[in-house]
Structure 1
């Protein structure tokens, strides 16, 4: 075998060595590339860091200004003149016009106080009046001055202004006196004590040039601001918006992105405002990086060329030297062993194939002898259950190959779920080996109980044991129940194992087994509602029509409000009694479905989260979730009974925590105020100011101390004290609602009705009917 005849053979060891040596040559080339990439990254990081710092400064300045505007909006909302004009309706009187002038003057003062604001508009919904610092107009004329990117006609603009609560930014183009300029509009609703009244909307107009006033001057840098709705809020140095400039492409709080602007590649540094969610972007030409990397690029190319030249010579010499011994070995082995070596064959492969032939034959025999017949049979049964039959092999051949003999073409499926492993379970854990042993015992017990009259084939699927029940003589559904009861009783008596068994309907043909398995799964899912340890037949489940007619579970609003009130006071006994009553009422409902059962339990957990949110701050709520993990604990439950236990456990811990905090913070002042309120609740002038005068302290201090000591707002406590007495009077059925309202301190029956519904969830009249 000559060297010049094999050096181009791809299967030869010569080619393998050549590839290996070339791979070694690639090491310095790769290192050079890594150094180049690292240098590029350093330059890129420095430029990006400088751009990001500039963007952060601009972001801080803009966010501070926007924060000042939001604070100013709150100050305007508290203005008495602004709030007094909300209820004014058309036509306007002389006094109304005087109020308009006063409000306009006030707006002018607010505008002067913040140089960031170009104009302020105040829109009153009730009278369709728009007041600015200069004049008065209406909603349609204001719309004509705007050209917002999201406005879709006057009706959409009117719907936007008439929304119950508005607080948003949007880019617009203002048109005033034949002049137009790009601006940002901040709209915020004026807060009202009565949410049912039509309110007002404050609109602040800011020029986009003022947004970018803090940007450092640069001829090559372009700047753009995008909001969450992918609208271009402001820009500098951009003739038109690039296609890549979309909000979704800039993931994360900050980073670097490459795009194309007018055929020129640019590097885009961006950061995200924590206040508004806006993306602040700075774009510079990518060639700035190339200018700094050209010298490094020339060095890298030179090192790569030198490595290829020197390495190629060394590779050729060592290939020739190292191939001679293996060439002599192959020639000697071919002559002495009588095995011919065909040219084009790999030398190492030739030797390895000769040695592996014997081992391969031995392994093939061992593989045939040690095939797991049971595992293959179990796989076939799982395919029957899931409807996955091999199309290339006839079914009768597969049945014969797996020793499955059928008595008829009628089938059903039984699913066995092990609720408790009994003697096989130590504390709360079960040894995996014992699990397999228990599954093996269950499989044999099921097949033994079915007996010779019928046939059963059991396999493990989805952590359950599934039995394909093949009927023999007759198709009596009671035979299925008898098998389930006998298996449950046997395992309970001998091993203390608790089972839940689900039974499907009867189906025909092999292809019906998959449908029977789905029915058994549906029946097993109903275990969530009725609990473990039962025999659940698919035919006995609530029909979908009955569940649809039932529509929902029992958890009315007034019951939820009572539960919230009891939890707020830390009364575990009453709140747990309500929860048990709710669950018992729904569990007795014959058409309660599995999804509704889950919704009910998560609704109860949601009520506790809502209560924690009302009695404390967001940090307290986060601490509650982190400490008790209510959602994870409910997801870990398999039945409503387990969910009920988890909810009551969480409820007890919450009530204990509330009671402990109140005992720790409670003081004589809170006790004195409580006693005074209970003795004088019938006085219609009972309020925080009156109580403050009684105890010689300011109303604000009194309210703050009462909240800190009792965990309850003083006004809410006064209302609840009055409502407790009102509920007693409503139960007597002798007095009218007006008389009851006056007896508990409400001179206005509308106020009484509104307060009663807020705390009890229903009106006094409805409450009286229920009693």
Structure 2
């Protein structure tokens, strides 16, 4: 793999590095651009400042001159000769002409007082006489000397002059002796004591060239003055008025913007007169800025070119130097690990994939070893329980290999049978994954409860969870085993609603006697048939063989069996169920009833029930009843006498109800019966489909299907809604806590109550209680 071959690979690390180095090279280039832009801004600001200063000087000079003209107009207005002629009317007399000559001489004196004044006209409204420093005329002749188009005709001009009071500037074009020049006309009314009399108007004419006389000479700079009415008062260096020259364009007191004059881009600086409100503008070609920036631009270009040349050379050298170690590493992976590097592959990606594969293989090997270690350890514990220890390997080596450390030679075995999976058993069927999860939780709880003073080693064997209990340094005691069993049962019941049956062996003093302890625990667990589910059965409390031999048989005489058959045939559930309960309780109170005798009693009762149902089957159509409820299978699946009792009583109740229904020729739908049962027993914590099915002698799956078909509602939802209806009444009517209300409607776990309430009502019970009507 050569450098000059892979440099064209778009995915190669060379491209990434090259991009990074170029990005670094761009930093000085960007900085140069920023410096150039900043320099441009500085030059622009300086030029604008210089232009603004010049405009300020011109503005100050013009404003001072205009101020002088306004003061002069006030002085003329106070002249006695000027005021005396105001009341003169046509026709004029010789004395009037003499007064006009006097006034004209005075005006000539006033003209010489201000160099900005080109001419002074005094218009008398009463006599329509216009006096200047040179001659006398009237308003029409004066209008003809002005630009009539600007003034919009003589009538508009006459109306303008006849205003009661005038003080305004107007740009005009004066024509005298065939010579025209642009000027500014300042009109000022001569103030009278009696404003109702026709007065006079002073008209001062100022050439725009004199207004701009104080501007520093510049061939490239154009100047313009714009009044508030958007009229061009004066200009210099403009052949035509630009489109942007509008008063509204120049917002603010001063500023700078760019525009076009005769298709040439110019920079326009402007300022505003505080006296007149005129806008003073200076327009400079934009290329003047470029002239000032040529040197800076040359320096920037030179620095960019130098950075690219030197930076490119350094980049090339460092690329080759930095790539060599990666090239050697990839070649080593390719040769020693047998991993080929394909053209077009990124080097870092190749190394990362190779390392990830190596780590993944290592983790997979470790995981498999851990899994096998757990399986081998479990297999070893099963062998210990069954007495199948390898004779060739010393016991202490086997224990060490499986990380098993013993504190004493005293052992016992505990077996745990899960009777009901609680929260893990939402319906009749249970997911195998949940079964494994519950078994895992059970084994961890057992080891945790045993604690640090003793040691426990758990494993699964023959579908039950077994624990080899090794006592600590303290004296072995059966009460400690009893405590562990009760603690495990209570924890799982409170947190998961899981019901357990626990069997405990006797205490033994040898590792090889664990197999005997396991058999004792199995014998105690088998006695679950007699004591029922949920018990803690100790081997030392089982009846002895001698006691069982002396007991001989169980109580179930023939006449009692016949009485049971007779009561069933007439449909008397109360008496027939009383007989069955008497039989089971009598045998259950016999402390020496053995497991085989208990099984015989269960099968005997089942036989009696089958015999009775067969006899009933000849009366009417009972074959469908047998097929529907499948009593044989249900009785065969019972594991304890308590379960057998519930099944028999459930089947018995269905049989009696069927017989009574045949007699009354009535039919009671199953949905109505189940609904009534739920409403009457909603407060039962264990109310679920299995319990209701046991009550009605129907399999839970069939019960759910029939209830859905008859009522259109799922049975679990119906149970929840029935409970919640009562809970809402208690929330609004009773001053009870949420926990007390939950227990009253059948929820022992407040979290389950809150979750179910929010599912159906949309809010929590606490929120519902806050929103209850006052």
Shorter-chain TM band: 0.3 to 0.5
Larger radius of gyration, structure 1 or 2? 2
Q: TM-score, normalised by structure 2?
A: 0.39
Q: TM-score, normalised by structure 1?
A: 0.39
